[in-house]
Amino acid sequence: MRADEELMAAYLAGDIAAFDELFRRYAGLLLRTLRRSLGRDDACDVVQQTFLQLHRSRHDYRPGAAVRPWIFTIALNLQRRHLRDARRRPLPLDDEAAAAPAVAARDITDDLPRYVRGAVARLPREQQRVIALHWFDGLPFQRVAETVGASLGAVKVRAHRGYLALRKIFEKEPHDGR
């Protein structure tokens, strides 16, 4: 399997199939990540916008630079805008959003109990992202760091603080498991 960076270099050289492969590699992951905070339609729109911006910015790409943080930074910037424009909470977890049909039926967040999603939504946004990628997507800290564009140490600190805060929330507000 070709590395992301090879695919990006190939796309810059005019290989359209390389762009398609990058899209297929990241679209599902982006949709799962975005659907935690956006509805299905908005998440799909942000994924489209992300790859359109990737195309428009292709000549800014420096050969060899990591592609994954590039894609995720675009997506997360667009996500922030969507949330702001829609005047939504950082992680709206209302019943309607949770009940929306999933692009991927195996979308992990749909399986999470409401009290977990509600608790994560109360964390600072930086901690939400790290915990979402580490806990929900099961990414190792190194990949999380690459994805959010932060150092490994910073990501571990955010995760540690986030998990501590979650533990406090769960201890303070007992739930019935739903």
Partner 1 sequence: MAADDADDGEQDRDTERLLAAVRARIAAERGPAAWLRSRPTPQRVGLIVHALTVAVLLTIWFGARPDLAAYPMHRMALALGSYAVCLLLAIDQLLRPLHVRRDRAAGLVLGATIALPWALALLPAAVRTRAVSGAGHDDCVLVGLVAGGLLMLLLRVLDRDTGGRRLRLPLMGAAAGLFANLVLMFHCPIDRTPHLLAAHATSGLVLTLLALAAMSARALRGGPESL
How does DSSP classify residue 173? S
Minimum distance from CB of 105 to partner 1 (Å)? 4
Minimum distance from CB of 173 to partner 1 (Å)? 32
Minimum distance from CB of 84 to partner 1 (Å)? 6
Footprint of partner 1 on residues 45-104 (CB under 8 A)?
47-49, 51-60, 70-71, 73-74, 77-78, 80-81, 84-85, 103-104
Tokens at 75, concatenated: 């997506």
Write down the residue that tokens 């709206």 correspond to. Answer: 92
Distance separating alpha carbons of residues 91 and 112, to the nearest angstrom: 14
Distance separating alpha carbons of residues 36 and 31, to the nearest angstrom: 9
- Which residue, 56 or 167, is less far from partner 1 as judged by CB? 56
Q: CA nearest 158: which of 112, 111, 126? A: 126
Q: Does 149 bind partner 1 (CB under 8 A)?
A: yes
Q: Does 178 bind partner 1 (CB under 8 A)?
A: no
Binding residue for partner 1, selected from 7, 18, 23, 35, defined by CB under 8 A? 23
Integer CA distances (angstroms), 47 to 22, 30, 41, 43, 62, in order: 12, 7, 10, 6, 22
Please identify, among the stretches 17-25, 108-116, 137-145, 162-170, the one whose residues bind partner 1 according to the rule CB under 8 A. 17-25
Residues near partner 1, by CB under 8 A:
20, 23-24, 27-28, 31, 44, 47-49, 51-60, 70-71, 73-74, 77-78, 80-81, 84-85, 103-106, 149
